[in-house]
Structure 1
């Protein structure tokens, strides 16, 4: 129902030059927002481990720390 109302409103607005400009501006802003949101969620869900290519953080009691103290 919501999509039908959006369609009817867009069809009505596209009939006027000012309404068409508003639709284009809204479309560009929504597209930019979706891209930014997709990029942010991609950064948050980056996997850490053997298969991801990203090394996991070093543990506190690892050998590398003990070797560096010598």
Structure 2
């Protein structure tokens, strides 16, 4: 398996380098997600999102949780 590949974000279609073989150097490490946020994103998208979209989805999840209160 390749250490990294260029993929397109399923949310914004931006190309980014996925480093599944070197996860600590992957762009996704820029965004810290808790388990609930991970589940929320997985319910909406299959595959990896770019770091920008992960941050947006994290914020969207937070806002939805606030609205439920």
Same fold per superposition (TM over 0.5): no
Larger radius of gyration between Structure 1 and Structure 2: 1
TM-score bracket for this pair, using the shorter chain length: 0.3 to 0.5
Return the TM-score normalized by structure 2: 0.35
More strand by share: 2
Bigger relative contact order (CA 8 A; separation at least 6): 2
Return the TM-score normalized by structure 1: 0.35
